[in-house]
Homo-oligomer: A and B are copies of this chain.
């Protein structure tokens, strides 16, 4: 599968690049099962992705039960409702605004790290940025483990936060349905920018 030239260059085999990026699609219809073991494996893979000062603000709630899905339902936009209720698992990717409280342990070689964030005006931006990096690691890790994803930001954040994070320190970021996707139910692939439209080398 991996030819010698690619192996020497460190490039993953085409089949892997296809599974992670080129052939992967946002799915709208899923079947299961998705086991708890798979959800643990997903976290155990995505957790290694880098964050600023190792701050790891991401918090994840996996909704599997009908009761949990019912709590989510009022927050979903009309176009996302039925497919989300039907998915084997829906993950709420969220982030902890008070992530800095853990830095004495997570970044233990520099005990001043907490002070870089506590009480600072741009700390919510750091939480969102790093929680979102982890959200993307989640998507790619799921694909690497053979799961299909349906990420969504079309929902009422305040309703999700009230229903699942009532203490106010954790904020919802995006949702992601998980399972085995039905390729016949994906939309037509949408265009991407060309390199020269969004990149420059100087």
**Which residues of chain A have a CB within 8 Å of any CB of chain B?**
1-2, 9-13, 16-17, 19-22, 24, 26, 36, 39-40, 43-50, 52, 54, 56, 58-65, 67-68, 102, 105-109, 125-126, 128-129, 132-137, 139-141, 144-147, 149, 151-154, 173-174, 187-188, 190-193, 195, 198-202
Contacts and interface: CB of A to CB of B under 8 A. Distances in A.
10 contacts: A20-B20, A39-B199, A47-B192, A49-B139, A50-B151, A56-B192, A56-B198, A65-B202, A105-B191, A140-B140
B48 A22 contact: yes
Main secondary structure of the interface of A (DSSP, over half): mixed
A13 to B, nearest CB: 8
A6 to B, nearest CB: 9
